[in-house]
Structures are given as C-alpha cells and as structure tokens.
Structure 1
Amino acid sequence: MNRLKTGLGALAFAATVALAGQAGAATTVSSTFDTDADGWAFGAWQSVGGTPQPVTYDASAGRISKIHGFGGWGFIAPLKFLGEKSEFIGGTLEFDLSSVLTDYEDRPLVALTGNNGKTIFSRWGNTPGPQLQTFSLGLAASSFYVGSPTGVSGAVTTAAFDAIMGDLEQIQIFGDWGPNVDNVQLDNVVMGGATGAVPEPATWAMMILGFGAAGTMMRRRRAAVAAV
C-alpha cells in the first residue's frame, strides 16, 4: 500500500507541476535591439503599408532612435509583432521611450491598425521625457479609444478590439507629436500574452493517463487483498 501511495503521490506531483507550468506560461514577442534595429522603421500611422523611413541604430547603447519633425509619426513594428495576435489579448505591450522635447500633453503613445482598416489609439497618460522610461500598456479595449492622436470620438468595443488583434496590420509607437524637430529613442519592446493559460491538450492527456494508471493500480491491489 505504501508503494501505491508513493506512486499516486508522484503522479499528483507531476500533474501539479505540469499545470503550474501551463498556468504561468505566457507568449512573448520582443525587440531588445542588442544586435541591430530588428526590422523597426519610422512612419506615419495613416500610411499603413507605405514605405517608412529607416531608424538609427546605436550599437553601443543597444537601442534605436530617430530625429524627426512631423507630428503623428513614430516607430513602426516589424512583421513578428503583426498578424494573428489574439493570444495577446489581456496581455501587455511594454517599451522604453524617451523624447528630447517635453512639451507634449494629452497624446497617445501607441496606435494599432487592423487589416480591416480600423485604427485605435492608446488612452492619454504620461508622456516621455529626455531619459528613457518604461511604459506599460494593457492590451484590452479599455486601454484604447477611437478618434485621432489629438481627439477622442468614442470608446473601443471588445468586438472591435478583438477584430484588430485578430489581424494586426500595423503597430506604431509614437515618436513625434508636433511640428518641431524631436529626437526620440526606443528600447526593450515586449508584447506579452496574459498568464493563466488553459493547459494544452498534451498536458491533459498526460494527466488522464496518469490517473488512469493509478486507478488500475488501486483495483489490482484491492483484488489481490480480496483473494488472500
């Protein structure tokens, strides 16, 4: 009986570890700019699919930058951040951003555009300063609005947000909000999915087989005891 208990304990422990690993796992896509610009460019949120400008890569600092003077332009994410990204709903988009000019007020930091042609903007909050600081944006409908970089015309519905995340065509991290020439820097961009994921089918299969084996062991033990 002790060996049976030990076997059951081992199976239970294995199942717990498997579930904990699944629950804590989260998918991420990142650009840390350790070796190059990682495909990032600089363009306007209105010019989805257009030809953006190159950014400057600083190898010593491991970051990208741009000196620019047109409001509404910003850093354009590469393809790995785009496409079907429903798994990131409920997660976060984090990045380090700095701006030499500090006279910006009431402006979004991020614009998301879906393949359906709809663009939404992150709700106004803190704006960057001359030193890199970390910004974290929740990937949820409540974090965005419908309108323009300078005006809010309405809220984003869950259905509209899900549709955009289901087929992202462009992510822009704003790097210029006004007509004056600015020098902006970007580093450590990480898009992370929500934790607490449902266990994968393989994990469930392992658990079912494990507990099935435990049940067989118990029945055989009881039959052996009854036959004595």
Structure 2
Amino acid sequence: MENICRDTFGYFNASIFKLWTCSLCFSYLFQDSAHLTPNRNKSYPLLISKDNDFGLIPDVSNNKATLEVCKYLDGTNCERWKSCCRSAVECCNSQVSERQLKHKPLFTLPCPKTWDGFGCVSEANAGSIAAIRCPNFVQYGFSSDYGTKKCTKNGTWWRDPVSNREWTDYTPCLNLRIYKTMVYVGVICCSISLILLIPASLTFICLRKQWGNPTPVFNVLKNDNVTIVT
C-alpha cells in the first residue's frame, strides 16, 4: 500500500496515477480541444481521439509518447501540459515519501494530501483551510498567489454541490481583468470586421447588377464576402 497516491477521484497505484492525472491535465487545460479527450478509464488511462479511433499514452516521462500528444498542441501549450503532468507526479512522490518517512498510514488526518487537478494540497485538520500555491501553467494566472481548499467539520474535503466533486478555490490565481480584456478585444475586432464587410458585400452586389455578366474573379470575391458575413 506504500506506492498509493490520491487525487480528487480517489486512490491510485502510483504508475496509474501518473497517467490518469496527466490525461486529466490535458482535459482541464484544453477544454475546447477538437482532437483529444481522456477516456477516464481508471485501469488504463489514455488520451483518445474524439472519434475514438485511436488512443495515446499520456506519459511525459516517455519522449515518444509526449511527442505524439504534443502534435496536437503548439509549443507553449505542450510545455503547459507537461508542467501540469510533472507537478502531479511530484505530488504523488511527496505523498509516498511522507508516509515512508513518518511511517504514517494512508489515513492519518481527516483530509489527506491530494492532487486536485492543478496543484498539490497538503493534508488538513477538520474545519480548517488549506492553502495551495497557484499553478504556473494556467493561462491568465498569478503563480505567486495562493488558492484555498476547505476541510469540512466532518473531516472531508468540501465538495461542490452541483458536480459533487471536491473543489478548490483558485479565484485569487486568476487575472480576470486580463481575461476580460482579451474577450472584449476579440468581440470588438470581430464587430469591426463585420461592419466593414457588409458595405463591401453590398457594393459587389450593386456592381454585379450594373455590369450584367461579371468575371469569375468578381464572383469569387463577392461570394467570399457574403460567406464571411453570414
């Protein structure tokens, strides 16, 4: 029972824990990925294609396996994913080493040390709050700040009532101002593009009526503009 590690879904053998948490790192960091998703198989975790026609082993200690997954990410996001996976492994190693060093059983304090998907939360007493350093691999985040995780009076990590999953408050880690600014800039740019395309499309339509039989190039340009607007 020594090489057992915990995340919010329970206890795993260390070798399975490494793959399980790494597959979930991909899911949490790239929720809108059009290519890969975890199979959520606790016995044999994989990253599978959305069509379920192939599976990849999420093992960042294996260079070949890492390259296969990173084909679907740019360089920056590949590093973010690997950093998350390595942090999970470090959390697992610390859980194992602490038990061995202090000769502690798996269940010592009510709320055990755990990997929550983004960071390693230290064990906590019932009714207390555990602090966790903000991860450096989250976009628009403050890695110098701290999130919090509540150990309830019942001696269990607090669960979100909607998802019924253990939950950590990472609100202090997120730079919402930058995120909102990026969203607003995107909306404004799209709006300006749309406003400029509408008169351009109307101009093409009016010229077509005047010229009668427009050239193929004219038709292509006109159709492209109308397609973008619609």
TM norm. shorter chain > 0.5: no
Relative to its length, the structure with more strand (as a share) is: 1
Relative to its length, the structure with more helix (as a share) is: 2
Q: Please, what TM-score do these two structures have when normalized by structure 1?
A: 0.26
Q: Relative contact order: is structure 1 or structure 2 higher (C-alpha 8 Å, sep ≥ 6)?
A: 1
Q: Please, what TM-score do these two structures have when normalized by structure 2?
A: 0.26
